[in-house]
Structure 1
Amino acid sequence: MTIDHAEMCRRVSVGRPSLQRWIEAGWIHAPSGDGFVAFSEMDVARAHLIRDLAGPMGVNPEGVAVILDLIDQIHGLRHALRGLSMAVGAQDPEVRRRIWSDAAHPPSGPSRAAGALGGRPRAVL
């Protein structure tokens, strides 16, 4: 189901100028086709969050941008983790066991930091 500007404003209880500012700020993406802008249910939920942050919670525009960016990053990380989990799940049982064991007990100390910074890498499966 797609929602037009008027319906979005009604459902979120904001004026069109506010919605337009959010679109211009890149906080809400307004996909369009054939001259018609349509929003999704996800856009409505995001607009509710923006309204609450900028309104009753009193977050300034810079803060709203930071919060939305962090939420987007979390969403991206969850998507990547889901893909990684599916890839691990497709491995042989012994490989899966070793991966989950290594994940539960990651190495500590300088060797881990050195690997992350380009030093001698840890053995990879």
Structure 2
Amino acid sequence: MSRIYTETQLVARITRLTPDRLTEYLAAEIVIPTQSDQGLIYQSLDVARLELACELHDQYEMEADALSMMISLIDQMHGLRAELREVLGAVEAQPDPVRQTLIEAIGMARFKR
């Protein structure tokens, strides 16, 4: 179950995050909070994204728009890794002759370039 944070709790939880920085990150859509009766609320995933954004901002002096693009690329990479795990699981579930054929075909495709 994911924990819910208000803006005040979020800023208190992430030491490098200031209200101004959060406003900047919201404008760049680094996180997209949910509107509730209590105002904007954030999930645990938002905490992780904001911690990463603050770290990249401080360490590499990245602007919010560049951070947004970088985090989007990281999200895409995680998505592709999840899809690859599913494909590998499907290949592993095949009978040995089919699995060997797939491994050979993938190997040839990789080194064909």
Task: Give me the TM-score of the superposition, normalised by structure 2.
Answer: 0.77
Which structure shows the higher helix fraction? 2
Match of 1:3 in 2: 5
Percentage of matched positions with identical amino acids: 24
TM-score, normalised relative to structure 1: 0.71
Q: Comparing 29-38 with 77-86, which one deviates more in the overlay?
A: 29-38
2:77 is the alignment partner of 1:67 = no
Q: Does 1:100 align with 2:103?
A: yes
Q: Which runs of 5+ in 2 are unaligned?
A: none
Normalized per residue, which structure has more strand?
2
Counterpart of 2:30 in structure 1 is 27
Q: Which deviates further from its counterpart, 47-56 or 98-107?
A: 98-107
Question: Aligned residue pairs: how many?
Answer: 109
- Where structure 1 has 5 or more consecutive residues not aligned to the other structure, the ranges are 110-125
Higher relative contact order (CA 8 A, sep 6+): 2
**1:80-95 superposed matches below 5 A:** 80-95=83-98
Rg comparison, structure with higher value? 1
Deviations 1:75-111 (A, max 9, x none): 12112112212222232222112112322343515xx
